[in-house]
Structure 1
């Protein structure tokens, strides 16, 4: 977890989505693009998150293992609960999950009720990544 100037810890969660069959490298490129946009290192990420629809996606599973990060599978109810706080609309995501952005909603759901989008959904090589952060008192 990163500390901000006020001594408050920020937990950063990367929400992931991808086309079926995307490789871990494809998904990593989206994660790295989101980290670059946030001006943080990949090591700042505390956890990965995705929706139930991507539970068995080999590229996401491989990436979590490679980065040694916990992978949270978010159910549709939790995605819908986080959905009002998302900022991006993907027709594909809406059709498959009823959430306007799988990656944003998954990141927000895992980061908690007080979390906010740090980096909206970015697309790279058929994969998406959004970063959400929650702040907790140190």
Structure 2
């Protein structure tokens, strides 16, 4: 049985970012997300949980171990130092989309600068 590829949007955000910042980043990155992914180190999940509910898609949390396995298009020294990846949004999207996932483009930044988003497509485990 052939599996349908899943389109996942990964998000990264600064503490205090609201749902409007996340939605702006996601809308700028693309359309058609079937799930939203975030790093499990995030403790302020209210805005991303609200966004997942609004979009009617599941929220997937990704472990640090899975993040570090990802190769991102964007390389931010700040993100590399804090999370061990060049782009948190790209890494969580890739990890959540499953083995052999591919980015559909580099991360984008919300207009307020508080959130980032990137889309990946793959076959979830």
- Provide the TM-score with structure 2 as the length reference: 0.87
Task: Mark the CA change 1:57 to 1:96 in structure 2 (over 3 Å): closer, same or farther.
Answer: farther
Q: How many residues align?
A: 121
SS of alignment partner, residue 10 of structure 2: strand
The counterpart of 2:26, out of the listed 19, 27, 31, is 31
Task: Mark the CA change 1:113 to 1:26 in structure 2 (over 3 Å): closer, same or farther.
Answer: same
Matched, 1:64 2:59: no
1:54-76 deviation digits (Å, cap 9, x = unpaired): 24332112111221211111010
Partner of 1:108: 94
The counterpart of 2:38, out of the listed 18, 39, 50, is 50
Q: What's the C-alpha RMSD, in Å, of the aligned pairs?
A: 1.9
Which protein has the bigger strand share?
1
Greater Rg by CA: 1
Residue 8 (structure 1) shift: 7.9
Which protein has the bigger helix share?
1
Matched, 1:19 2:14: yes
CA distance in 2, matches of 1:27, 1:112: 22
Q: Which runs of 5+ in 1 are unaligned?
A: 1-6, 36-41
